[in-house]
Amino acid sequence: MAEKLAKASPSRFYELLDGTLEAMGFGSQVREICEPAYADARRGGRPGIDPVVYFKMLMIGFFEGVESERQIAARCADSLSLRGFLGYALDEETPDHSSMSVIRQRLGSVCFEGVFALVLAALRQHGLLKGRHLGIDSSVIEANASLRNLSERNSEEGYWEYVKRLAQEAGLETDNGAELRAFDRKRTGKKMSNEQWQNPNDPDAKIGRTKDGATDMVYLPEHTVDLETGAIVQAQVLAGDHRDSEDLSQRVIEAVVIVQEAMGSADVEQMPETITADKGYFSLQEIGLLQELQHKDGDQ
């Protein structure tokens, strides 16, 4: 019976990807980068998930368009092709989403940045990173936090306690949620500012506009990409009330440094030639700082 079971083998795409990763020494380099985050086996520490498997699972999420760790884990468990790519047989358990969460917290930003630099260097070697023309843009993602749980920053008064108090001051004595929501929608001078309100369960989430124009707790993911190849050279998540133009020059400098390191050169002439963004990024002060930096580098 066992001979009749399907074997976990990667599809042609993942077979080629796995071959590329093996040729560049991805496994050994990733384990070296992540080694400080793992317990010393000689001290009896429990061995964790192989970081190579974890980063392969993140690649699967990217290529398959799967966003959450829970969905990535489920997809890997269900697919023979992905099991083959990860190196798991049909009767072996693949990492679940809770294990992915644990290893993400264990590795920290330093390990992620190291692996990201490793991938960028490989893209350059395969001609998939030019570094001459960059583009930067941000989007909106809803935070895992609710407006219903807002509290006043100074008094820690809950938002609906605050609305109920305002309703009582206006002569409306009620505990009915629908009536309070109707009062809140219509009251004059209503303003929900991040200076006054926060969600104590997720202080980094900010009140902002979602893609459909609704008000919610949000973050702003921002990507800088190589416009000639589409390679992502920088990715970060900004606060939901962050202005695109705020500290733009600093983020551009960071992207330039990342590109230079990936290209293996600190030569000024190897710096990106242009960076493209929409009008939301326009700021005379930030453009002035970038021009000043360009002039200084040109004199060196």
Supply the pLDDT for residue 270.
63
Same structural domain, 210 and 224: no
pLDDT at 50 over 70: yes
Output the pLDDT for position 190: 81
pLDDT of res. 44: 47
Are 34 and 88 members of one domain? yes
Same domain, 203 and 231: no
Overall pTM surpassing 0.75 (yes/no) = yes
Burial grade of 260 (CB within 10 A; 0-12, 13-18, 19 or more): middle
In the chain, the number of structural domains is 3
Tell which wins on pLDDT, 54 or 293. Answer: 54
Q: What is the pLDDT of residue 6?
A: 61
Q: Is residue 211 domain-shared with residue 242, that is, in the same domain? A: no
Average pLDDT over residues 135-139: 94
- Asked if 7 and 122 sit in the same domain, the reply is yes
Average pLDDT score, the chain = 87
**pLDDT, mean of residues 112-140:** 93
211 and 261 share a domain? no
* pLDDT digit string, tens, across residues 248-285: 999 999 999 999 889 886 555 667 889 999 999 999 89
Residue 124 has a pLDDT of: 92
Tell me the per-residue pLDDT of 227-254, one tens digit each, with 9 for 90 and over: 999 999 999 999 888 889 999 999 999 9
Q: How confident is the model at residue 127 (pLDDT cuts 50, 70, 90)?
A: very high
**Residues 178, 41 share a domain:** no
Query: Does the pLDDT of residue 147 top 60, yes or no?
Result: yes
Chain segment 19-28, per-residue pLDDT in tens: 999 999 999 9
Residue 288 and residue 210 in one domain: no
Indicate if 75 and 15 belong to the same structural domain: yes
Are 208 and 154 contained in the same domain? Answer: yes
Tens of pLDDT, residues 160-202: 898 899 899 888 888 888 888 898 888 887 878 888 999 888 8
Domain end call among 95, 126, 157: 126
* Residues 102-121 pLDDT 10s: 899 889 899 999 999 999 99
**60-109 pLDDT, tens per residue?**
999 999 989 999 999 999 999 999 999 999 889 999 999 999 899 889 89
Do 23 and 94 fall within a single domain? yes
**Domain ends where: 216, 232, 263?**
216
The range of the structural domain enclosing residue 23 comes to: 1-126
Reported as a pLDDT band with limits 50, 70 and 90, residue 1 is very low
How does DSSP assign the chain, residue by residue? Answer: -GGGSPP----HHHHHHHHHHHHTTHHHHHHHHHGGGS--GGGTPPP---HHHHHHHHHHHHHHT--SHHHHHHHHHH-HHHHHHHT--TTSPPP-HHHHHHHHHHHHHHHHHHHHHHHHHHHHHTT----SEEEEEE--EE-S--GGG-EETTT--BHHHHHHHHHHHTT-----HHHHHHHHHH-TT----TTTEE-TT-TT-EEEE-TTS-EEEEEEEEEEEETTT--EEEEEEEETT--TTTTHHHHHHHHHHHHHHHHT---GGGS-SEEE--GGG--HHHHHHHHHHHHHHHH-
| Final residue before a domain boundary, out of 126, 159, 186 | 126
Whether pLDDT at 46 is above 50: no
Banded model confidence at residue 288, pLDDT cuts 50, 70, 90? confident
Tell whether 241 and 168 lie within a shared domain: no
Q: What is the pLDDT at residue 298?
A: 52
Q: Any bridge partners for residue 208, and if so which?
A: 216
